[in-house]
Structures are given as structure tokens and as C-alpha cells.
């Protein structure tokens, strides 16, 4: 039977796998049959996420600690993943954060910190894991971007928007370099996702309307909306798709 979304026999690592979206993607890969490793800096959060994932799906989940801002730490992560799994077929870069502030007053130390995680960390993971994928004859890299990579926002998002634009071009550039090595590199560009972290914000009067007024489908994204797209890009169904940013946005970018 042709099962293009079946990931049985595949080995995946999700950097940022203890966070809301990263953890959900890890769960989707696990439920689709992959063996999954989740990685981040906080070991307690990783263990908590791994326990939850094991309860949700009957599969193998491993925990790996990493500082995604340091090349030596990422190199160690890749070495440990390959030592544990034997290979790495799927890399998801789900690390990242947002710090808001007026452009004319933005703290450049905070700017550098954001770029270190959102841009340098993604590039380093693509570089290090990409080498393993080229050597083994193929693989999938999925970077977490945002609609903010192509749509500016006046709410103090100059650092975040520009960092996601950088992720988009890193994705496209590396995709063209590795295309002949059977390594597909794509990105997911969601609109604001209703994670648990957003619950308090969305409970504020008028916030839900503020965030959804320009979304044709009239709602925020859900984590499961991102999961399905990630599983698709990780699967053989996407073998001829590379260098793309898949927008999970309820029609926001289509509407201009």
C-alpha cells in the first residue's frame, strides 16, 4: 500500500522540541512512525515534554541537551543523535523567540541575542546536520519561520520580522545548494499560533479581534495546523519540494 505520510523507519530530531510548537511537531512525527529526539537547553522541560509525548503515542522519544547558539554544542548534538539513532533523516528547527520594542529605541544587546537564536542557531543546525544528510544520501530539513518574514508589523517587531526573513532566505539558499544531494530544505510560516503561552494574552479584552481581523478564516492558528504541514514536508510526499515557505495562515498572505 502506498503510504506517503508514513515515517516508519525514519529518525527525526526537533531542536526546540520542548516548546509548544516544537513539541507538537515532535508528537506528529512520532505518531506518523518516526523515532524522535527532542533537543533544547532546559533538561527539565525536555524530560517533561518527552514524558508527555510517550503518553500520547507509542513510540521512541529521546532527549538531547543543546545550546543552539554554539556550533560546538550543535556538533555534539548531531554526534549524539547519530550515535543513538544511527542516522538522522529529519531535522526540525523550531527554536526561536520574540522580543518587542520600538525600532528607534531597540536594545541592540537584545537584538543580538534574538538573532543568535533565531538566525545563527538555525543556520548552524542546517550546516551541521546538513553534512550528515549529504553523507548519508539525503534528508529533510524544516525550519520554523513566520508570516512575519514577509509581512511587517508595527507592533515593535523589527527584530523578529527581519530574523524570520533571514530564516526564509537561509532556507532557500541552502535548499538550492543541497538539492542535488537529495536533501530537501523547506520552512513553515505560520500566523500567530494559539499555544498555551498565548492563552493569557488572548484573554485580554479586544486582543482576539486584533489578531484575527485580517485573517480570512477568522481565527488564530492551532498547533495541529502546523503539525500536519510539518509531517507533509518530512514525508516522501514532499520529495520534489524544496526551497519553499509553506504559509499556515488562514489566508492572511493571500489577502495581501
- Report pLDDT digits (tens) over 8-34: 999 999 999 998 899 999 999 999 999
CATH 3.40.50.720 fits 11-244, yes or no: yes
Average pLDDT over residues 158-169: 96
User: Which residues are the active-site residues?
Assistant: 160
Q: Is the pLDDT of residue 196 over 90?
A: no
CA distance 105 to 165: 21
The three-point CA angle 205-102-253 to 5° equals: 65
Return the percent helix, strand and coil in the chain, to nearest 5. Answer: 50, 15, 35
Summarize pLDDT for 57-109 with one digit per residue, the tens.
Answer: 889 999 999 999 999 999 999 999 999 999 999 999 999 988 999 999 999 99
Amino acid at each position: 500500500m502506498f503510504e506517503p505520510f508514513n515515517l516508519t523507519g525514519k529518525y527525526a530530531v526537533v531542536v526546540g522540541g520542548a516548546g509548544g510548537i516544537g513539541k507538537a511537531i515532535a508528537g506528529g512525527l512520532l505518531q506518523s512512525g518516526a523515532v524522535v529526539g527532542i533537543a533544547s537547553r532546559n533538561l527539565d522541560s525536555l524530560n517533561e515534554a518527552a514524558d508527555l509525548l510517550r503518553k500520547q503515542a507509542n513510540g521512541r522519544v529521546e532527549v538531547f541537551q543543546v545550546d543552539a547558539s554554539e556550533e560546538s554544542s550543535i556538533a555534539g548534538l548531531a554526534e549524539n543523535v547519530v550515535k543513538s539513532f544511527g542516522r538522522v533523516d529529519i531535522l526540525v528547527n523550531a527554536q526561536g523567540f520574540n522580543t518587542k520594542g520600538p525600532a528607534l529605541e531597540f536594545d541592540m544587546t537584545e537584538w543580538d541575542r534574538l538573532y543568535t537564536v533565531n538566525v545563527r542557531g538555525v543556520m548552524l543546525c542546517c550546516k551541521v546536520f546538513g553534512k550528515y544528510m549529504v553523507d548519508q544520501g539525503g534528508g529533510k530539513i524544516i525550519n520554523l519561520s513566520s508570516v512575519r518574514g514577509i509581512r511587517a508589523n508595527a507592533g515593535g517587531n523589527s527584530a523578529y520580522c527581519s530574523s524570520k526573513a533571514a530564516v526564509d532566505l537561509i532556507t532557500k539558499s541552502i535548499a538550492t545548494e543541497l538539492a542535488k544531494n537529495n536533501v530537501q530544505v523547506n520552512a513553515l510560516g505560520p500566523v500567530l499560533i494559539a499555544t498555551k503561552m498565548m492563552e493569557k494574552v488572548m484573554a485580554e479584552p479586544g486582543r482576539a479581534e486584533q489578531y484575527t481581523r485580517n485573517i480570512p478564516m477568522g481565527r488564530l492558528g492551532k498547533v495541529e495546523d502546523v503539525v500536519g504541514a510539518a509531517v507533509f514536508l518530512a514525508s516522501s510526499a514532499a520529495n520534489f519540494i524544496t526551497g519553499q515557505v509553506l504559509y499556515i495562515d488562514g489566508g492572511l498572505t493571500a489577502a495581501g
